[in-house]
Structure 1
């Protein structure tokens, strides 16, 4: 798989006290995406509906022993950057990133609500934009991930294909829901959302429940030409 990096230009503000002039100096940082698991199924550009038919249909297993820490202690780091800031920098526009690879501000065109949200880093403001696991970790746990080694779960939780910057309130309402229990309020994004879930489940060989598959089919019935996204590389 061809390695790709994203270059983010971070602004460092230097104040010239003697002359009272504000200077801006820029520094560049190569930010690689988290590496995909080596044994994951490769995803090609194909019909989401056809890909759905390749997923195993089974009942939901017990949630026994599930904990967020089963997927790693927080976000994985890539050099000075962590996954949260990598995804924020990818999904926001007009983003400002400091020399520590922290996204300080930006605008999110939120796919879940259809609204534009201003992101400003801060104790009381950062949660306005959250990073959603498109296939919720709790859902993944009950549909195959509980049997994975820890390293695979960590890779899953940090895979860019599995992550989207979204409205914090919508993310909280989703919780661990699958397609049978939660869909984005923004109906124009539902086909893309379902296609992304299917691509993730195919990539990691997670199964779907019968009710979940039926919900996915109902959504895709309105967009028969919808393709599944390819894994980011």
Structure 2
């Protein structure tokens, strides 16, 4: 009787151990399934976007700089960020694009309007329309925001594939100090080559008036340059940042502590 009872106890102990093992396996399977359907499959399905680490700024051979209220402070971008004022957003209810002057005028008086200046600066193998030394008809670029090689062809429908992005969006600038600038200063801000990048049309539309807290380029290799460019523009035009925006900029610059401000040269 005692032998039988001991055998029974061993059998129960082995049974409990088996159920524990089976339970642990079930938990692992459930966890792996949840991970796959919530995150894993998307990691596998979305390859990392790569592209240029910088975007063109200035070409002194044919461009002329505009004059901001303040010189872009040369040096470490993170240090300049620390010197920007931090405030909340002002109202956007009275924002109007016309407050920044006529779009794409010849602000630097080099004989070409700003849109064509930026297309010429950012595109390779540039072709001009017949009889013009300004109007860009076609060109190719390694687009900085999404990392794709893009062909620009002027046309009623095709031109919108490449748009000129205001690195510090004018709507964002209006809410963060541009209301206090003069019309001439706002016009310079809208046409300053430091604040302009030729970009994928869809990416530009997606960004809209977002700041760094709510939008960054999908091409992560550009983010340090992009954020430093925003900081440079805000410092040059006396604009402020919100606390979430500053925090987002600082997180980006943590990965590139040697990043410098962006100045036209």
TM range (shorter): 0.7 to 0.9
User: Are 1:34 and 1:83, in contact at CA under 8 Å, matched by a contact in 2?
Assistant: no
Aligned residues: 204
Offset from partner CA, 1:122-144 (integer Å, 9 cap, x none): 00100111000000000000000
Residue in 2 aligned with 1:102? 135
Bigger Rg, which one: 2
User: Are 1:43 and 1:203, in contact at CA under 8 Å, matched by a contact in 2?
Assistant: yes
Residue in 1 aligned with 2:70? 41
Mapping 1:1-233, distance limit 5 Å: 6-7=60-61, 31-33=62-64, 35-37=66-68, 40-77=69-106, 78=109, 80-98=111-129, 99-100=131-132, 101-230=134-263, 232=264
- TM-score (normalizing by structure 2): 0.74
Mark the CA change 1:5 to 1:211 in structure 2 (over 3 Å): closer, same or farther: closer
Any runs of at least 4 consecutive aligned residues in structure 1 with deviations exceeding 4 A, and if so which?
4-7
Mark the CA change 1:193 to 1:79 in structure 2 (over 3 Å): closer, same or farther: closer
Residue in 1 aligned with 2:21? none
CA–CA distance in structure 2, aligned partners of residues 175 and 112 of structure 1: 14
Cα RMSD for the two superposed structures: 1.5
Determine helix, strand or coil for the equivalent of 1:108.
Answer: strand
Determine helix, strand or coil for the equivalent of 2:247.
Answer: helix
Determine helix, strand or coil for the equivalent of 1:153.
Answer: helix
CA–CA distance in structure 2, aligned partners of residues 35 and 227 of structure 1: 21
- TM-score (normalizing by structure 1): 0.83
CA–CA distance in structure 2, aligned partners of residues 54 and 121 of structure 1: 42
Structure 1, unaligned stretches of length 5 or more?
8-30
Determine helix, strand or coil for the equivalent of 1:107.
Answer: strand
Residue in 2 aligned with 1:14? none
CA–CA distance in structure 2, aligned partners of residues 80 and 42 of structure 1: 25
Structure 2, unaligned stretches of length 5 or more?
1-57
Deviation at residue 69 of structure 1 after TM alignment: 1.1
CA–CA distance in structure 2, aligned partners of residues 201 and 44 of structure 1: 11
Deviation at residue 42 of structure 1 after TM alignment: 1.5
Determine helix, strand or coil for the equivalent of 2:145.
Answer: coil
Deviation at residue 113 of structure 1 after TM alignment: 0.4
CA–CA distance in structure 1, aligned partners of residues 187 and 92 of structure 2: 18
Mark the CA change 1:189 to 1:32 in structure 2 (over 3 Å): closer, same or farther: closer
Offset from partner CA, 1:65-92 (integer Å, 9 cap, x none): 1011111121112354100000100010
Which protein has the bigger helix share?
2
CA–CA distance in structure 2, aligned partners of residues 64 and 138 of structure 1: 10
Which protein has the bigger strand share?
1
User: Are 2:145 and 2:203, in contact at CA under 8 Å, matched by a contact in 1?
Assistant: yes
CA–CA distance in structure 1, aligned partners of residues 171 and 258 of structure 2: 30
